[in-house]
Amino acid sequence: MTYQIINAIVVQSDAELSAAQAHGMATGMLCANEQAQSTEWLTELFRHGTPQADEDRTTLVHLFEDTRNLLVSDEFEFDLLLPGDDALLSEQVEALTYWCQGFLLGVGFTHAASDLSKEASEILKDIVEFTKLDTEAEGEEDESDFMEITEYMRSAVLLLCNELNKEGER
C-alpha cells in the first residue's frame, strides 16, 4: 500500500493526521497489544474527522491487518509507512517524526509505561528524540542518517512488539 493512497484517505477525512502518524499509531497499538482491533484504531484516528467511505475504511483495515501480520512474521518484512524515495528528504524526515509521534500515541493508548524493561524504556526514549529531528534535511550525510534511523526503528519496533506482547503471556 502506498503512502500517497493512505495519506489521501486520512487527509480527506479531516483526521488532522498524516498517513505516517496513522500507521505509527496502528503499529504502536499492535506492539502494545497484538490483539488490538482495527475498530479501536479507526475510532482514535477519526475522533475529530468525518466518517470514511466504505472503500476507504476497507483500505485502512487492510493496512492495519497487514501491519499486524508483518509485526508477527518471522520474515522481518515490517517497514514504516513513509513517503517513497521520490519525495524530498525533508518530507521523508518530517513524515518519520510524525510516524514516531503516532507510534508513541498508539503504545500509550494500550500500555502502561511503568512496567517496561530498561531496554524498552530506552527505545521509547529514542523514539521520543526522533520526534524532534530537524526536518531541514538535505545532502548525502542527512540521507545516510535518515536511513540509519529508519533501520533502527524497524528493529526497535520489532523488539518492542516482542517484549510487550510477551508480557501479556506471563
What's the N-to-C CA distance of the chain in angstroms? 35
Inter-residue contact 120 to 160 (CB < 8 Å): yes
| Confidence at residue 162, expressed as pLDDT on a 0 to 100 scale | 87
pLDDT at 163 over 60: yes
pTM of the model: 0.90
| Spatial separation of the C-alpha atoms in residues 69 and 64, rounded to whole Å | 9
| Confidence at residue 170, expressed as pLDDT on a 0 to 100 scale | 40
Question: Domains in the chain and their CATH numbers?
Answer: 3-169 (1.20.120.740)
DSSP 133: -
Task: Show Cβ contacts of residue 170 under 8 Å, excluding neighbours closer than 6 positions.
Answer: none
pLDDT at 81 over 90: yes
| Confidence at residue 76, expressed as pLDDT on a 0 to 100 scale | 85
Inter-residue contact 109 to 32 (CB < 8 Å): yes
Task: Please report the DSSP string for 101-115 in residue order.
Answer: HHHHHHHHHH--GGG
> What digits encode the pLDDT tens for the residues 17-36?
899 999 999 999 999 888 99
